[in-house]
Amino acid sequence: ILNVEQSPQSLHVQEGDSTNFTCSFPSSNFYALHWYRWETAKSPEALFVMTLNGDEKKKGRISATLNTKEGYSYLYIKGSQPEDSATYLCASYGSGNTGKLIFGQGTTLQVKP
């Protein structure tokens, strides 16, 4: 059974603070790691799909790194804004050549103005 773990479970920061959170996953038989942002009452939105060890991706103030050998990914938000408030989910694939994504429980970020 694949376990995808995220920490912390929730985070409260002030506007302008930079923050980061962690996703850990089994490093064996790795294919890809997905990050999603999920705002309340909206659809989960894909942020990054990461496949290569050492990969670093960036979208505006949000960036992510990937270490497939040790089985973790970090998501960074620079200069958090209230509109960054959301739940951030990571997901990796289960066993077998299928599209079954296993999601972590998410990190809920609240940015206070």
Tell me the C-alpha distance between 22 and 71, whole Å. 10
Q: Which residue in 74, 89, 72, 92 sits closest to 29, CA to CA?
A: 92
| Binding residue (CB under 8 A) for other proteins from 7, 12, 31, 81 | 31
Q: Which among 15-23, 31-39, 54-62, 63-71 is the span making contact with other proteins, rule CB under 8 A?
A: 31-39
Residues 68-97 that bind other proteins (CB under 8 A): 89, 91, 93, 97
Size of the residue set binding other proteins (CB under 8 A) = 26
Q: Pseudo-torsion of CA 21, 27, 3, 45, nearest 10°? A: 50
Task: Tell me if 40 contacts other proteins by CB under 8 A.
Answer: no
In terms of CB distance, is 30 or 72 closer to other proteins?
A: 30
Residue pair 80/13 in contact by the 8 Å Cβ criterion = yes
> In sequence order, what DSSP letters do the residues of 75-93 get, joined into one string?
EEESS--GGG-EEEEEEEE
Applying CB under 8 A, which residues contact other proteins? 4, 31-32, 34, 36, 41-46, 49, 51, 89, 91, 93, 97-106
